[in-house]
Structure 1
Amino acid sequence: MSSQAAVAITPGRRLGLTQEYEAGTGTYMRNGIIYSSILGSKGIKGAEGSGNPTVFVERSNAKFAIPNIGSEVLARVVRINPRAASVAIMMVGSTPCQEDFQGVVRVQDIRATEKDLVQMINSFRPGDIIRAEVISLGDQRSYYLATTKNEHGVVFAQSAAGNTMVPTSWEEMQDPKTGDVEKRKCAKAF
Protein backbone atom coordinates (compact mmCIF):
# COMPACT_ATOMS: atom_id res chain seq x y z
CA MET A 1 0.00 0.00 0.00
CA SER A 2 1.61 3.25 -1.10
CA SER A 3 0.50 6.63 0.07
CA GLN A 4 1.16 9.89 -1.71
CA ALA A 5 2.51 13.03 -0.01
CA ALA A 6 0.39 14.02 3.00
CA VAL A 7 -1.89 16.66 1.56
CA ALA A 8 -5.17 17.43 3.31
CA ILE A 9 -7.97 15.89 1.27
CA THR A 10 -11.34 17.41 2.11
CA PRO A 11 -14.75 15.82 1.52
CA GLY A 12 -15.89 16.42 -2.06
CA ARG A 13 -12.35 16.69 -3.48
CA ARG A 14 -11.99 15.05 -6.89
CA LEU A 15 -9.58 12.12 -6.73
CA GLY A 16 -9.67 10.59 -10.19
CA LEU A 17 -11.73 8.97 -12.93
CA THR A 18 -13.40 5.56 -12.72
CA GLN A 19 -11.60 4.57 -15.95
CA GLU A 20 -8.24 5.01 -14.17
CA TYR A 21 -8.99 3.87 -10.59
CA GLU A 22 -11.25 1.70 -8.49
CA ALA A 23 -13.03 3.50 -5.62
CA GLY A 24 -11.74 2.44 -2.21
CA THR A 25 -12.61 3.30 1.39
CA GLY A 26 -13.36 6.94 2.15
CA THR A 27 -14.51 7.65 -1.43
CA TYR A 28 -17.65 7.73 -3.55
CA MET A 29 -18.38 7.79 -7.29
CA ARG A 30 -20.60 10.15 -9.26
CA ASN A 31 -20.81 10.49 -13.05
CA GLY A 32 -17.57 8.58 -13.62
CA ILE A 33 -15.57 10.64 -11.13
CA ILE A 34 -14.25 9.45 -7.75
CA TYR A 35 -14.55 11.93 -4.84
CA SER A 36 -13.39 11.92 -1.22
CA SER A 37 -16.12 11.35 1.35
CA ILE A 38 -13.95 12.03 4.43
CA LEU A 39 -11.12 14.26 5.63
CA GLY A 40 -7.72 12.61 5.42
CA SER A 41 -4.87 11.72 3.10
CA LYS A 42 -5.11 10.27 -0.41
CA GLY A 43 -3.56 6.88 -1.04
CA ILE A 44 -3.30 4.50 -3.99
CA LYS A 45 -3.16 0.73 -3.62
CA GLY A 46 -1.51 -1.22 -6.44
CA ALA A 47 -3.66 -3.08 -8.95
CA GLU A 48 -4.55 -6.71 -8.22
CA GLY A 49 -4.08 -8.69 -11.45
CA SER A 50 -5.23 -6.81 -14.54
CA GLY A 51 -7.54 -4.33 -12.74
CA ASN A 52 -7.00 -0.64 -12.05
CA PRO A 53 -5.27 0.60 -8.88
CA THR A 54 -7.56 1.54 -5.99
CA VAL A 55 -7.68 5.13 -4.76
CA PHE A 56 -8.68 5.62 -1.12
CA VAL A 57 -8.71 8.24 1.63
CA GLU A 58 -7.48 7.38 5.09
CA ARG A 59 -8.12 9.43 8.18
CA SER A 60 -5.06 10.92 9.77
CA ASN A 61 -4.29 12.22 13.25
CA ALA A 62 -2.94 15.50 11.89
CA LYS A 63 -4.95 18.55 12.87
CA PHE A 64 -6.41 20.19 9.77
CA ALA A 65 -8.34 23.43 10.03
CA ILE A 66 -11.51 23.31 7.96
CA PRO A 67 -14.05 26.14 7.93
CA ASN A 68 -17.53 25.31 9.23
CA ILE A 69 -20.66 27.44 9.43
CA GLY A 70 -20.18 29.85 12.33
CA SER A 71 -16.37 29.59 12.31
CA GLU A 72 -14.40 32.80 12.61
CA VAL A 73 -11.66 33.00 9.97
CA LEU A 74 -8.76 35.21 8.94
CA ALA A 75 -8.49 35.68 5.21
CA ARG A 76 -6.47 37.67 2.67
CA VAL A 77 -8.40 39.60 0.02
CA VAL A 78 -7.22 38.36 -3.37
CA ARG A 79 -9.41 40.42 -5.73
CA ILE A 80 -12.54 42.52 -5.68
CA ASN A 81 -15.30 43.41 -8.09
CA PRO A 82 -18.40 45.58 -7.50
CA ARG A 83 -20.43 42.60 -6.22
CA ALA A 84 -17.96 40.52 -4.17
CA ALA A 85 -14.47 40.12 -2.76
CA SER A 86 -12.59 36.86 -3.35
CA VAL A 87 -10.48 35.82 -0.38
CA ALA A 88 -8.03 33.09 0.62
CA ILE A 89 -8.89 31.70 4.07
CA MET A 90 -5.63 31.30 6.00
CA MET A 91 -6.80 30.51 9.56
CA VAL A 92 -9.89 29.00 11.15
CA GLY A 93 -10.11 30.25 14.72
CA SER A 94 -6.54 30.03 15.95
CA THR A 95 -5.59 27.04 13.76
CA PRO A 96 -3.77 27.74 10.50
CA CYS A 97 -5.03 26.01 7.37
CA GLN A 98 -2.62 23.60 5.70
CA GLU A 99 -3.73 25.07 2.37
CA ASP A 100 -5.74 28.21 1.63
CA PHE A 101 -9.48 27.72 1.20
CA GLN A 102 -11.32 30.02 -1.19
CA GLY A 103 -14.02 32.31 0.15
CA VAL A 104 -16.30 35.08 -1.05
CA VAL A 105 -17.64 38.11 0.79
CA ARG A 106 -20.66 39.36 -1.14
CA VAL A 107 -21.49 43.06 -1.00
CA GLN A 108 -24.74 42.36 0.91
CA ASP A 109 -22.74 40.48 3.60
CA ILE A 110 -20.35 43.33 4.48
CA ARG A 111 -22.56 45.38 6.83
CA ALA A 112 -25.69 44.54 8.80
CA THR A 113 -27.42 47.86 8.03
CA GLU A 114 -27.69 50.13 4.99
CA LYS A 115 -26.68 47.24 2.74
CA ASP A 116 -27.77 49.12 -0.38
CA LEU A 117 -25.19 51.87 0.29
CA VAL A 118 -22.19 49.54 0.58
CA GLN A 119 -19.51 49.84 -2.09
CA MET A 120 -16.88 47.12 -2.32
CA ILE A 121 -14.03 49.55 -3.09
CA ASN A 122 -14.82 51.41 0.15
CA SER A 123 -14.78 48.22 2.21
CA PHE A 124 -11.82 46.07 1.11
CA ARG A 125 -8.79 46.22 -1.16
CA PRO A 126 -6.61 43.39 -2.50
CA GLY A 127 -3.97 42.48 0.08
CA ASP A 128 -6.10 43.38 3.12
CA ILE A 129 -6.35 40.83 5.92
CA ILE A 130 -9.92 40.47 7.19
CA ARG A 131 -11.66 38.72 10.07
CA ALA A 132 -14.98 37.18 8.99
CA GLU A 133 -17.55 34.54 9.86
CA VAL A 134 -18.45 31.57 7.66
CA ILE A 135 -22.18 31.90 6.90
CA SER A 136 -22.51 29.16 4.29
CA LEU A 137 -20.49 26.34 2.82
CA GLY A 138 -21.23 28.06 -0.50
CA ASP A 139 -20.66 26.27 -3.76
CA GLN A 140 -17.92 23.85 -4.79
CA ARG A 141 -15.43 26.67 -5.23
CA SER A 142 -15.88 29.01 -2.27
CA TYR A 143 -17.19 29.43 1.26
CA TYR A 144 -19.51 32.40 1.81
CA LEU A 145 -18.26 34.80 4.49
CA ALA A 146 -19.77 37.80 6.27
CA THR A 147 -18.29 40.80 8.07
CA THR A 148 -21.61 42.11 9.43
CA LYS A 149 -20.54 41.97 13.11
CA ASN A 150 -18.61 44.87 14.63
CA GLU A 151 -15.60 42.66 15.41
CA HIS A 152 -15.37 41.56 11.76
CA GLY A 153 -13.73 43.48 8.93
CA VAL A 154 -10.24 44.62 7.98
CA VAL A 155 -7.60 43.92 10.66
CA PHE A 156 -4.52 44.71 8.56
CA ALA A 157 -4.11 46.95 5.54
CA GLN A 158 -1.33 48.75 3.72
CA SER A 159 -1.72 52.18 2.18
CA ALA A 160 -0.94 53.04 -1.43
CA ALA A 161 2.48 54.17 -0.14
CA GLY A 162 3.10 50.69 1.34
CA ASN A 163 2.81 51.66 5.01
CA THR A 164 0.77 49.76 7.61
CA MET A 165 -2.45 51.65 8.27
CA VAL A 166 -4.28 52.14 11.57
CA PRO A 167 -8.06 52.38 11.97
CA THR A 168 -9.43 55.81 12.85
CA SER A 169 -13.12 54.82 12.78
CA TRP A 170 -15.23 51.82 11.75
CA GLU A 171 -15.03 52.95 8.10
CA GLU A 172 -11.63 54.65 7.72
CA MET A 173 -7.95 53.80 8.09
CA GLN A 174 -5.05 56.23 8.04
CA ASP A 175 -1.43 55.95 7.01
CA PRO A 176 0.42 57.36 10.06
CA LYS A 177 3.43 58.43 7.98
CA THR A 178 1.72 60.26 5.10
CA GLY A 179 -1.60 61.10 6.80
CA ASP A 180 -3.57 59.70 3.85
CA VAL A 181 -7.01 58.34 4.75
CA GLU A 182 -8.60 55.37 2.93
CA LYS A 183 -12.06 53.85 3.28
CA ARG A 184 -12.30 50.32 4.78
CA LYS A 185 -14.84 48.28 6.77
CA CYS A 186 -12.69 48.04 9.89
CA ALA A 187 -12.89 45.35 12.55
CA LYS A 188 -13.53 46.61 16.06
CA ALA A 189 -10.39 46.17 18.17
CA PHE A 190 -10.71 44.00 21.29
Structure 2
Amino acid sequence: MTEIVTPGEVLGNVSEFKAGKGAYVNDNTIYASLTGSRKIVSPLPESLDQRAIVEVTGHKAHGLIPQPGSIVLVRVTKVMARMASVDILCVGPKAVREKFAGIIRQQDVRETEIDKVDMHQSFRPGDIVRAMVLSLGDSRAYYLSTAKNELGVVSAESAAGETMVPISWTEMQCPLSGQTEQRKVAKVG
Protein backbone atom coordinates (compact mmCIF):
# COMPACT_ATOMS: atom_id res chain seq x y z
CA MET A 1 0.00 0.00 0.00
CA THR A 2 1.42 3.39 -0.91
CA GLU A 3 1.03 6.18 1.57
CA ILE A 4 0.50 9.62 0.02
CA VAL A 5 2.12 12.45 1.96
CA THR A 6 2.06 16.25 1.58
CA PRO A 7 4.71 18.93 2.31
CA GLY A 8 5.41 19.31 6.02
CA GLU A 9 4.10 15.86 6.95
CA VAL A 10 6.30 13.85 9.34
CA LEU A 11 8.01 10.88 7.66
CA GLY A 12 10.09 9.60 10.56
CA ASN A 13 12.96 10.31 12.93
CA VAL A 14 16.70 10.51 12.14
CA SER A 15 17.44 7.82 14.75
CA GLU A 16 15.51 5.40 12.52
CA PHE A 17 15.86 6.80 8.97
CA LYS A 18 18.00 8.91 6.66
CA ALA A 19 16.26 11.62 4.61
CA GLY A 20 16.20 10.80 0.92
CA LYS A 21 14.78 12.62 -2.12
CA GLY A 22 11.73 14.76 -1.40
CA ALA A 23 12.50 14.86 2.34
CA TYR A 24 14.31 17.20 4.72
CA VAL A 25 15.40 17.15 8.37
CA ASN A 26 14.47 19.69 11.03
CA ASP A 27 15.20 19.05 14.75
CA ASN A 28 15.87 15.31 14.22
CA THR A 29 12.49 14.86 12.49
CA ILE A 30 12.22 14.04 8.78
CA TYR A 31 9.50 15.85 6.84
CA ALA A 32 8.11 15.59 3.30
CA SER A 33 9.08 18.50 1.04
CA LEU A 34 6.66 17.55 -1.73
CA THR A 35 3.40 15.73 -2.34
CA GLY A 36 3.87 12.13 -3.37
CA SER A 37 4.33 8.55 -2.22
CA ARG A 38 6.29 7.76 0.96
CA LYS A 39 8.86 5.09 0.22
CA ILE A 40 11.34 3.25 2.46
CA VAL A 41 14.57 2.26 0.70
CA SER A 42 16.90 -0.32 2.26
CA PRO A 43 20.51 0.80 2.63
CA LEU A 44 23.17 -0.87 0.52
CA PRO A 45 24.74 -3.84 2.39
CA GLU A 46 28.21 -2.22 2.15
CA SER A 47 26.93 1.12 3.50
CA LEU A 48 28.37 2.12 6.89
CA ASP A 49 25.07 3.80 7.83
CA GLN A 50 22.55 0.98 7.99
CA ARG A 51 19.49 3.20 8.55
CA ALA A 52 16.79 2.82 5.92
CA ILE A 53 16.22 5.84 3.66
CA VAL A 54 12.79 7.48 3.68
CA GLU A 55 11.95 9.41 0.53
CA VAL A 56 9.00 10.92 -1.28
CA THR A 57 8.56 10.30 -4.97
CA GLY A 58 6.39 12.99 -6.44
CA HIS A 59 3.79 12.52 -9.10
CA LYS A 60 5.28 13.18 -12.53
CA ALA A 61 2.63 15.83 -13.23
CA HIS A 62 3.83 17.86 -10.31
CA GLY A 63 6.06 20.54 -11.60
CA LEU A 64 7.71 23.03 -9.33
CA ILE A 65 7.43 23.08 -5.58
CA PRO A 66 8.34 26.25 -3.63
CA GLN A 67 11.45 25.66 -1.48
CA PRO A 68 12.92 27.86 1.26
CA GLY A 69 14.96 30.54 -0.51
CA SER A 70 12.90 30.38 -3.75
CA ILE A 71 11.76 33.67 -5.27
CA VAL A 72 8.04 33.41 -6.03
CA LEU A 73 5.36 35.55 -7.66
CA VAL A 74 2.10 35.58 -5.72
CA ARG A 75 -1.36 37.12 -5.97
CA VAL A 76 -2.73 38.68 -2.77
CA THR A 77 -6.12 37.15 -1.91
CA LYS A 78 -6.84 38.68 1.51
CA VAL A 79 -5.25 41.35 3.73
CA MET A 80 -5.69 41.25 7.51
CA ALA A 81 -4.19 43.33 10.31
CA ARG A 82 -1.17 41.07 10.90
CA MET A 83 -0.77 39.18 7.61
CA ALA A 84 -1.69 38.86 3.96
CA SER A 85 -2.88 35.60 2.39
CA VAL A 86 -1.60 34.86 -1.09
CA ASP A 87 -1.69 32.23 -3.83
CA ILE A 88 1.71 31.28 -5.26
CA LEU A 89 1.63 31.63 -9.07
CA CYS A 90 5.28 31.11 -10.09
CA VAL A 91 8.48 29.70 -8.62
CA GLY A 92 11.27 31.66 -10.25
CA PRO A 93 10.23 32.24 -13.87
CA LYS A 94 8.03 29.12 -14.09
CA ALA A 95 4.30 28.86 -13.34
CA VAL A 96 3.24 26.26 -10.78
CA ARG A 97 0.84 23.52 -11.85
CA GLU A 98 -1.01 23.30 -8.57
CA LYS A 99 -2.20 25.85 -6.09
CA PHE A 100 0.06 26.67 -3.14
CA ALA A 101 -1.06 29.02 -0.39
CA GLY A 102 1.28 31.49 1.27
CA ILE A 103 1.26 34.00 4.10
CA ILE A 104 3.22 37.23 4.39
CA ARG A 105 3.31 38.05 8.09
CA GLN A 106 3.59 41.61 9.35
CA GLN A 107 7.14 41.00 10.66
CA ASP A 108 8.23 39.77 7.20
CA VAL A 109 7.08 42.76 5.09
CA ARG A 110 10.22 44.87 5.46
CA GLU A 111 13.56 44.88 7.28
CA THR A 112 13.20 48.12 9.26
CA GLU A 113 10.49 49.62 11.50
CA ILE A 114 8.70 46.27 11.56
CA ASP A 115 6.36 47.46 14.32
CA LYS A 116 5.13 50.31 12.08
CA VAL A 117 4.12 48.07 9.16
CA ASP A 118 0.47 48.55 8.18
CA MET A 119 -0.60 45.53 6.15
CA HIS A 120 -3.40 47.49 4.42
CA GLN A 121 -0.85 50.09 3.28
CA SER A 122 1.53 47.39 2.03
CA PHE A 123 -0.75 45.13 -0.01
CA ARG A 124 -4.26 44.97 -1.47
CA PRO A 125 -6.18 41.97 -2.80
CA GLY A 126 -5.26 41.35 -6.44
CA ASP A 127 -1.72 42.76 -6.14
CA ILE A 128 1.04 40.70 -7.75
CA VAL A 129 3.97 40.48 -5.33
CA ARG A 130 7.54 39.16 -5.65
CA ALA A 131 8.46 37.38 -2.42
CA MET A 132 10.95 34.90 -1.03
CA VAL A 133 9.94 31.61 0.59
CA LEU A 134 11.10 31.62 4.23
CA SER A 135 9.81 28.20 5.24
CA LEU A 136 7.09 25.65 4.73
CA GLY A 137 5.19 27.41 7.54
CA ASP A 138 2.28 25.43 8.88
CA SER A 139 0.52 22.65 6.98
CA ARG A 140 -1.76 25.13 5.21
CA ALA A 141 0.61 27.78 3.89
CA TYR A 142 4.21 28.73 3.09
CA TYR A 143 5.71 31.67 5.04
CA LEU A 144 6.93 34.35 2.66
CA SER A 145 8.99 37.53 3.02
CA THR A 146 9.17 40.84 1.14
CA ALA A 147 11.87 42.23 3.47
CA LYS A 148 14.45 42.90 0.72
CA ASN A 149 14.38 45.97 -1.56
CA GLU A 150 13.81 43.92 -4.72
CA LEU A 151 10.81 42.16 -3.13
CA GLY A 152 7.30 43.57 -2.85
CA VAL A 153 4.43 44.63 -5.10
CA VAL A 154 5.39 44.39 -8.79
CA SER A 155 1.93 44.94 -10.27
CA ALA A 156 -1.19 46.53 -8.85
CA GLU A 157 -4.48 47.78 -10.24
CA SER A 158 -5.88 51.18 -9.26
CA ALA A 159 -9.51 51.85 -8.36
CA ALA A 160 -9.92 53.02 -11.99
CA GLY A 161 -8.82 49.56 -13.18
CA GLU A 162 -5.48 50.74 -14.58
CA THR A 163 -2.10 49.12 -13.95
CA MET A 164 -0.32 51.43 -11.53
CA VAL A 165 3.29 52.58 -11.83
CA PRO A 166 5.69 52.69 -8.87
CA ILE A 167 6.77 56.22 -7.92
CA SER A 168 8.65 55.37 -4.71
CA TRP A 169 9.29 52.31 -2.55
CA THR A 170 6.06 53.05 -0.63
CA GLU A 171 3.75 54.43 -3.33
CA MET A 172 2.21 53.52 -6.68
CA GLN A 173 0.30 55.89 -8.94
CA CYS A 174 -2.60 55.42 -11.35
CA PRO A 175 -1.53 56.82 -14.75
CA LEU A 176 -5.17 57.66 -15.55
CA SER A 177 -6.39 59.44 -12.42
CA GLY A 178 -3.04 60.45 -10.88
CA GLN A 179 -4.23 58.93 -7.57
CA THR A 180 -1.47 57.48 -5.41
CA GLU A 181 -1.85 54.42 -3.19
CA GLN A 182 0.43 53.09 -0.45
CA ARG A 183 2.21 49.79 -1.16
CA LYS A 184 5.39 47.90 -0.21
CA VAL A 185 6.87 48.34 -3.69
CA ALA A 186 9.55 46.07 -5.17
CA LYS A 187 12.61 48.01 -6.33
CA VAL A 188 12.92 47.71 -10.11
CA GLY A 189 16.24 47.08 -11.81
Give the TM-score normalised by the residue count of structure 1: 0.71
The percent identity for this pair of structures is 54
Count matched residues.
Answer: 151
Unmatched 5+ stretches in structure 2 = 10-31, 38-55
CA RMSD of aligned residues (A): 2.8
1:163 aligns to what? Answer: 162
Counterpart residue number, 2:151: 152
Tell me how far apart the structure 1 counterparts of residues 115 and 33 of structure 2 sit (CA, whole Å): 40
Query: What pairs up with 1:47-62 in 2 under 5 angstroms?
Result: 59-62=58-61
Map of 2:178 onto structure 1: 179
1:35-79 alpha-carbon deviations (Å, 9 max, x no partner): xx685668xxxxxxxxxxxxxx86454561101110000000000
- 1:89-104 correspondence runs (5 A): 89-104=88-103
- How far is the alpha carbon of 1:12 from its aligned partner? 5.6
* 1:75 is the counterpart of 2:93: no
Asked if 1:139 corresponds to 2:138, the answer is yes
**1:110-149 counterparts in 2 under 5 A?**
110-149=109-148
Equivalent AA in structure 2 for residue 134 of structure 1: V
User: 1:136: how far off?
Assistant: 1.2
**Residue 22 (structure 2) aligns with:** none
Q: Is the 8 A contact 1:38 1:59 kept in 2?
A: no
| 1:96 partner amino acid | A
CA contact (8 A) 1:70 1:135 kept: yes
Moved more, 70-79 or 90-99: 90-99
Q: Deviations over 1:159-185 (max 9, x none)?
A: 011111000000000001100000000
Quote the offset at 1:100 in angstroms. Answer: 1.8
Q: Which runs of 5+ in 1 are unaligned?
A: 1-8, 14-36, 43-56
Distance 1:83 1:38 in 2: 27
Give SS of 1:169's match.
Answer: coil
Asked if the contact 2:62–2:98 (Cα under 8 Å) also holds between the matched residues in 1, the reply is no
